Structure 1
Amino acid sequence: MCQKNNLRDAENGCGEPKLSNDLPPKKKTIYMEEAITKTKFGLFNYYIIFVSGIILYAVGLETCAILYVIPVSTCDLSLTTNQKGILGAATFAGIICSSHLWGFLADTKGRRRVILPSLMAAVAMSVVCSFIQNFYIFTALRFLNGFFMSCASGTIYAYLGEFHNNIHRSRAIMGAAIIYGISCMMIPITAWFFINQDWQFQVPYIGLTYKPWRLFVVACAIPGFISVLALTLLPESPKFLLSQGNKEAAYQILQKMNRWNNGEKCELELFEIREETDSIEKRQRYLDNKNSRFPLLKSVWDQTAPLFKPPYLKSTILICTIQFGIYSTSTGFFMFFAEVLNKMSANLDNFYDQRISMCDAINMKPVNMSAIEYDVVNDEVCIEKLELSTLENGIVLEIAFGLGHILVGLLINKVGKFPIIFFILCTTGLSGIGCMLTDIPALQISLFLSLLSSGVAANVVSSATVELYPTTLRAMALCISLMFARFGGVAGSNTAAFLLDNHCEAAFYLSGSVVTAMGLLAFFIPNIHKKVSNAAIEETRNDPRLSLVSFRGSVKSF
């Protein structure tokens, strides 16, 4: 039971919201943006950026690694073609089903307070999963893994952003994305290292033959476990605590940040932190809801409804639509990444001196079919190792993904978010269309990899989302936008599965056109054209709405 007078509990996000302030009067009153600026940028910021990047990597690893597991677990789990599709979508289904719940809990109970237990539960699901032989139980556990991983995938953007001021916020989020992108290069290498081993042993009492792919499932949970340990050194978001009326706890966390960044002996000057108007109103609604007939449902409604009403309606629709469109290609088509390139490689070997269209190379029946492709035709063949081409192509894509995040991180404050989103999505979208307009194999593969790299823009959109909403709605907005993103991934994979076999050209034209259209649509995101300047801090000091997003002016701090 959390005691609201216990400062340690308050720092961890415990205790009910308060309407009064326990602090004695200070020398001056400042807003959170200026207070964060006083702690400067240093070790604490680098640490939380690194931890956030590892958490994003843990989410990506858990959702994508199953694509490497399915081909080599077909016989052990007795998978049919339809069951492979269900298993591949199970994690995404869990993310979709729980996004709204985690957004509500993160905005009402605390960011760190929900990220920690959800990561621990996701790690546990993966470990247990490695010992399961039944398809239905295995799929249910992958669904639960996605259910718990969903919390970190959206909430971490809000958590990270709330420790930074307006100048450093976008770079901090992109810094975490860079760590995520670089770490993703390890996914195919890790899969190759674990899965392509020759050992196996019997587990007594449960009659299980433990093979390398099962150990790979456990290995995928290691980044999540490391993240849990790393998060124990970090406090709750000071902006969330301020939104709950815990000014003393928010000040103490700023003091902790200051000591990390400037030395243990460095003390912050005494000041009182002013609150957001929305935070005060939200706490009043919280107390009012206690007297309603269904307090929980009323709280959920109050936390969700504002996103779909002015002034946030336009932003919510735009962000959700753009994330849906990006993920429909970057995730939807990625499901068939290895299959498309393996088919092209097998067929082009027979036409090394000729030029053929990409769809002909994909759909032509090859003379020499690779082991993985043959498994699709003949269910009696059991594949226990990954093809080398799968590793090579995966590394190329992840390198492009990592380099893209590095470049975005270097440029985002200099050129702004919209030019980056527009350039990435239009370039990658036109690359998808270009795949159908050339008969040069090397160029076809390069353009296809470029199309899949459209996912780099998704993190820039999430960075923009952080700045569009106040503290009281931010986590919910991020979780809902990423819920629509996962919807896009599921819709895109099913569309690609149908079109690649029946209307191959349409698959690439459609994907390329959708991604390009999302780049154009980003033009209408509120405040997307503003750049960060050093004058922003001075501007916010005299702004009575500093803690809120103004849809008639510039983006203030949150």
Structure 2
Amino acid sequence: MTVKMGKDTKSDVEKEKPMHAATLEDALTATGFGKYNFGLLLVCSWTLQAMGMDLFGTSFVVAAAVCDLELSMQQRALLTATPLVGVVIGAQLWGYVSDTKGRRLTLVLSMSVGFVFAALSSFAPDWRIMALLKLLSSTFTSASNSGAYTLLGESCSERARGRSMLLCTCALMCSQAVVAVFAYPILPLEFAYWINFLGIYYRPWRLLALVMAVPCAATACILQFFHESPKFLFSRGESEKALEVLKKIYACNTGRSADDFPVKKLVDEQEETKASQESFLKAMWQQTTALFRPPLLKVTLKLFYLVIVIYMTGSGFILWLPYIMNNLFLVLEAGGGEGMNLCTVIRYSTDSLAVAGNDTTILEVCNDTIQETTLLSAMTYGALASSANLVLSLTCGARKRMAMIGIVALSAISAVLLNVVASPIAGGVFFFFFLLCALSMGILSVYFVELYPTSLRGMASCLSVMLGRSSAFLGVNAIGALISANCEATFYGWAALLLSAIAFSWFLPSDKKPNK
């Protein structure tokens, strides 16, 4: 039988080609790339952005809540970093659920419950309860790491997979900027409603925390219109269901009848499709240990080291962006900063507070004003990071390794230059470029989808994020102490760390496609 098979090309050229039985990859190619894939790209991007807002938006809420919650600097750092702990707690569990129950179910369940806890955090009477609620919300929303990337990557052809996942990362990159967009009109509002049974004043920062939770609920609703990953269904031995999903994707992409789909039968791709009948803990243990045994051991060690360095840098320093930018613009508005590098500006701002009064802690705790320019700088960084990620996704293609090396090298050079160049504005710009190390997260996610079998993919992704967020949590709490002790040495040390990541990136798989 001769049928038309939609090729996954930009021109959507159709060629007459006989096809009846095919591997899953060939079947995905036959579905084309159209409305379904584009819609799934948008909803997965929105899901990652919702998770990013829950994780990184907390830094703006905490900065505006220091007076109401009576936060010391140590409590402020702990509360800001608490959502990262939730990712660590939930990562392995969600990896197992994603690999055994499905990507879509994992996302719907986790984002729904995550919304409830994130919304409740806006009513927290003290910082401890708020930390607990943010811990719970992030534990659930962290499932996006295993679900969103994997669902997207397993629902499109190999040709479009890397580019789609990098585009998806744009949303995660600009999540803090989106919070800043919401914060810009909300935080300057002047209202305080007394809630008697909670003993709190409901102020603008609480409204911002509630607004940040809404995208979680929205994604859980929108995901109802999409299907489970056909690769997951096939890996669980449900080839008929996988074929039905592929037919629906084909129909949505091409506008033709599902019966016109050229593939009538899926053939095995030499991956284990047998569902595990073992106990939950034993199955999860076996999934985990499989990553640390040959032939996957070397791949896991290389990728996990890169995860540690990139998350410590990108996720660790991004949570200090409001603090560093606030200090920078306070000094500039006071007419200072001439001939200073970024570290000198931070020290100058701290010394100015010390001169203003004897109790430095009280002065710092009670400063809950976020500069308008700080919010604008966060938006600027989000636009810069998203634009860079967009360019990266459209140009790097199969050149993932070289793109990774280039990004990390730019970050390392910027860490040195922000110490060397004696200009506050230039220091702020180099700090932005330093943070662009986070662009590598999208490239790493592509490697985790490409280098691991379907049955281990969710677990590998979640363990990597668990490790990454653990590193980020330690980084967030260490960065403040290190910058206070020796700011310049901190950035020089980070530059050396990034150089070691370049060395590890060099030994990633070749950029040339293996089955060309």
Shared fold per TM-score greater than 0.5: yes
Residues 478-526 of structure 1, C-alpha deviation per residue, up to 9 Å, x if partnerless?
111111111221122233112111111111101122223213311212x
Note if 1:44 corresponds to 2:36.
yes
Conserved in 1, the CA contact under 8 Å of 2:337 and 2:424? Answer: no
Any residues of structure 2 matched to 1:141-180 within 5 Å, and which? 141-180=133-172
1:101 matched to which residue of 2? 93
Out of 269, 274, 291, the position equivalent to 2:267 is 274
Any residues of structure 2 matched to 1:356-371 within 5 Å, and which? 356-364=340-348
1:234 matched to which residue of 2? 226
Note if 1:330 corresponds to 2:314.
yes
Structure 1 residue ranges without an equivalent (≥5): 1-26, 290-294, 532-553
1:217 matched to which residue of 2? 209
SS in 2 for 1:517: helix
Deviation of 1:122 after TM superposition, in Å, equals 0.5
Conserved in 1, the CA contact under 8 Å of 2:353 and 2:363? Answer: no
1:508 matched to which residue of 2? 491
Note if 1:316 corresponds to 2:300.
yes
Out of 46, 49, 62, the position equivalent to 1:70 is 62
2:365, 2:415 → 1: CA distance?
34
Letter in 1 for 2:511: H
SS in 2 for 1:130: helix
SS in 1 for 2:237: coil
SS in 1 for 2:374: helix
2:194 matched to which residue of 1? 202
The 1:350–1:191 alpha-carbon spacing in structure 2 relative to 1, beyond 3 Å, is closer
Any residues of structure 2 matched to 1:361-440 within 5 Å, and which? 361-364=345-348, 377-378=361-362, 382-383=366-367, 385-413=369-397, 416-440=399-423
The 1:425–1:149 alpha-carbon spacing in structure 2 relative to 1, beyond 3 Å, is same
Any residues of structure 2 matched to 1:421-500 within 5 Å, and which? 421-500=404-483
Q: Mean Cα displacement is larger for which, 467-476 or 327-336?
A: 327-336
2:376, 2:263 → 1: CA distance?
57
2:432, 2:364 → 1: CA distance?
32
The 1:362–1:374 alpha-carbon spacing in structure 2 relative to 1, beyond 3 Å, is farther
2:285 matched to which residue of 1? 301
Q: Give the alignment's Cα RMSD to 1 decimal.
A: 2.5
1:366, 1:296 → 2: CA distance?
52
- Number of equivalenced pairs: 497
Q: Mean Cα displacement is larger for which, 159-168 or 440-449?
A: 440-449
Conserved in 2, the CA contact under 8 Å of 1:243 and 1:275? Answer: no
Conserved in 2, the CA contact under 8 Å of 1:35 and 1:254? Answer: yes
1:522 matched to which residue of 2? 505
The 1:200–1:350 alpha-carbon spacing in structure 2 relative to 1, beyond 3 Å, is closer
Letter in 2 for 1:482: V
Residues 433-472 of structure 1, C-alpha deviation per residue, up to 9 Å, x if partnerless?
1111221333222111110111011111111211001110
Conserved in 1, the CA contact under 8 Å of 2:41 and 2:164? Answer: yes
Q: Mean Cα displacement is larger for which, 151-160 or 232-241?
A: 151-160
Conserved in 1, the CA contact under 8 Å of 2:20 and 2:262? Answer: no
Letter in 1 for 2:322: A
The 1:239–1:258 alpha-carbon spacing in structure 2 relative to 1, beyond 3 Å, is same
Structure 2 residue ranges without an equivalent (≥5): 1-18
1:373, 1:398 → 2: CA distance?
36
1:555, 1:298 → 2: CA distance?
35
Q: Mean Cα displacement is larger for which, 515-524 or 110-119?
A: 515-524
Out of 89, 108, 113, the position equivalent to 1:116 is 108
Deviation of 1:236 after TM superposition, in Å, equals 0.8
Conserved in 2, the CA contact under 8 Å of 1:30 and 1:273? Answer: yes
Letter in 1 for 2:512: K
Note if 1:136 corresponds to 2:120.
no
Deviation of 1:350 after TM superposition, in Å, equals 6.0
Letter in 2 for 1:469: Y
Letter in 2 for 1:474: R
The 1:374–1:409 alpha-carbon spacing in structure 2 relative to 1, beyond 3 Å, is farther
Conserved in 2, the CA contact under 8 Å of 1:418 and 1:522? Answer: yes
Any residues of structure 2 matched to 1:285-300 within 5 Å, and which? 286-287=276-277, 289=278, 295-300=279-284
Deviation of 1:385 after TM superposition, in Å, equals 4.4
Conserved in 2, the CA contact under 8 Å of 1:125 and 1:145? Answer: yes
Residues 81-138 of structure 1, C-alpha deviation per residue, up to 9 Å, x if partnerless?
2222221121100101111111111111111111111110100001111122032222
Deviation of 1:359 after TM superposition, in Å, equals 2.3
Out of 33, 47, 51, the position equivalent to 1:55 is 47
TM-score by length of 2: 0.90
The 1:384–1:501 alpha-carbon spacing in structure 2 relative to 1, beyond 3 Å, is closer
Note if 1:257 corresponds to 2:249.
yes
TM-score by length of 1: 0.84
1:86, 1:356 → 2: CA distance?
30
Deviation of 1:555 after TM superposition, in Å, equals 6.2
SS in 2 for 1:41: coil
Residues 237-269 of structure 1, C-alpha deviation per residue, up to 9 Å, x if partnerless?
100000111111001100110111111535213
2:392, 2:406 → 1: CA distance?
11
2:449, 2:360 → 1: CA distance?
43
Residues 168-198 of structure 1, C-alpha deviation per residue, up to 9 Å, x if partnerless?
0001111212344456532212112222211
2:249, 2:289 → 1: CA distance?
34
Deviation of 1:387 after TM superposition, in Å, equals 1.6
SS in 1 for 2:339: coil
SS in 2 for 1:520: helix
Deviation of 1:64 after TM superposition, in Å, equals 0.9
Note if 1:355 corresponds to 2:342.
no
Identity %: 26
1:499, 1:480 → 2: CA distance?
27
1:94, 1:460 → 2: CA distance?
23
Letter in 2 for 1:265: S
Letter in 2 for 1:403: S
Conserved in 1, the CA contact under 8 Å of 2:30 and 2:262? Answer: no
1:376, 1:233 → 2: CA distance?
54
1:387, 1:349 → 2: CA distance?
10
The 1:173–1:374 alpha-carbon spacing in structure 2 relative to 1, beyond 3 Å, is farther
Residues 282-308 of structure 1, C-alpha deviation per residue, up to 9 Å, x if partnerless?
43xx23x3xxxxx22221122111100
2:213, 2:45 → 1: CA distance?
15
